[in-house]
Amino acid sequence: MTDNTLRILKGDPVLKKIIETIPEPDIESTNDVFFDLMSCVLEQQIHYRSTKRVFQKMLHAANLTTLTLENFDEFEQKAFPNAKLSTGKLETILAVLTFFQENKINWALLNDAEVAAKLSSIKGIGKWTIDMILLYTLGRPNVCPYDDFHLKEIMVKRYGLDPNSRLKAQMVDISTDWGEHKSLAVKYLLAWKKYNQHL
């Protein structure tokens, strides 16, 4: 974190206290959009944040350490029989698989809007999932997942927001003060929950 980033984020008194209380979040990305998308779909959570480890258990059942286009058939045969997957989830998995089979994309060359446009073209992939890919997989610096349940919960409690009155607008207003460093602010807020058992 640069001195300028630190100065901007500490301009928010809530973040300032958090930054001075916990270590800087250090998340090692997979940089693998296919893998992380499947995690979001199968687990309804990206594996970086998961506590249930559904996706990891499925990989273990298939004797795999990662999921690729090349080993997907093996993953499906060994992991799917014991997994309770809804029809909608299966359709989204198929849509993701088909998209990546038909498109070879260098995601690093795309800006955030271009990434969002590509991913939103996949049936079943919505705004929250796209934000997770931008935030965690691609490590983009200016992402705030306003639809994230945990972020909403934390901001309501830490900033005293009213959850029943235009909550997203309140969150947007606060995040404006974070400038182009929204991702780091979000990671701090989410990391803070792990250090506070009374949230």
Band (pLDDT 50/70/90 cuts) for residue 199 is: very low
Same domain, 17 and 47: no
Residue 165 has pLDDT above 70, yes or no: yes
Residue 50 has pLDDT above 80, yes or no: no
- Give me 189's structure tokens: 């807020």
- Give me 33's structure tokens: 């959009």
199 is a domain residue: no
How many CB atoms are closer than 10 A to CB 73?
A: 10
Which of 33-47, 123-137, 155-169 comes out lowest in average pLDDT? 33-47
Residue 91 has pLDDT above 70, yes or no: yes
Band (pLDDT 50/70/90 cuts) for residue 167 is: very high
Q: In whole angstroms, give the CA distance from residue 155 to residue 1.
A: 22
For residue 91, give Cα distances in angstroms to 4, 22, 24, 131, 189. Answer: 45, 41, 38, 21, 33
Give the structural domain span for 7.
3-26+144-194
pTM of the model: 0.92
Contacts 24+ apart (CB under 8 A), 41-50: 41/89, 41/92, 41/93, 41/96, 41/124, 41/125, 41/129, 42/83, 42/85, 42/89, 42/93, 46/132, 46/136, 46/137, 48/136, 49/136, 49/150, 49/190
Instruction: Give residue 44's pLDDT.
Output: 80
Band (pLDDT 50/70/90 cuts) for residue 6 is: confident
- Give me 23's structure tokens: 């270590």
Residue 132 has pLDDT above 80, yes or no: yes
Same domain, 42 and 128: yes
Same domain, 55 and 12: no
What is the per-residue DSSP string for 66-85?
S--TTTHHHHHHHHSTTS--
| H helix or E strand, kind and range, residue 190 | helix 182-194
- Segment 97-109, tens digit of pLDDT: 999 999 999 999 9
124 is a domain residue: yes
Same domain, 159 and 183: yes
Q: Are 34 and 68 in contact (CB under 8 A)?
A: yes
- Mean pLDDT over all residues of the chain? 93
- Give me 59's structure tokens: 């990989």
% of the chain at pLDDT higher than 90: 82
Q: Where residue 153 sits, what CATH number does that domain have?
A: 1.10.1670
Instruction: Give residue 53's pLDDT.
Output: 85
Which of 24-33, 64-73, 160-169, 172-181 comes out lowest in average pLDDT? 24-33
Q: In whole angstroms, give the CA distance from residue 111 to residue 156.
A: 30
- Segment 11-21, tens digit of pLDDT: 999 999 999 99
Q: Are 193 and 28 in contact (CB under 8 A)?
A: no
Higher pLDDT, 91 or 4: 91
Band (pLDDT 50/70/90 cuts) for residue 112 is: very high
Same domain, 41 and 102: yes
Q: In whole angstroms, give the CA distance from residue 199 to residue 197.
A: 6
Q: In whole angstroms, give the CA distance from residue 43 to residue 23.
A: 27
Residue 198 has pLDDT above 70, yes or no: no
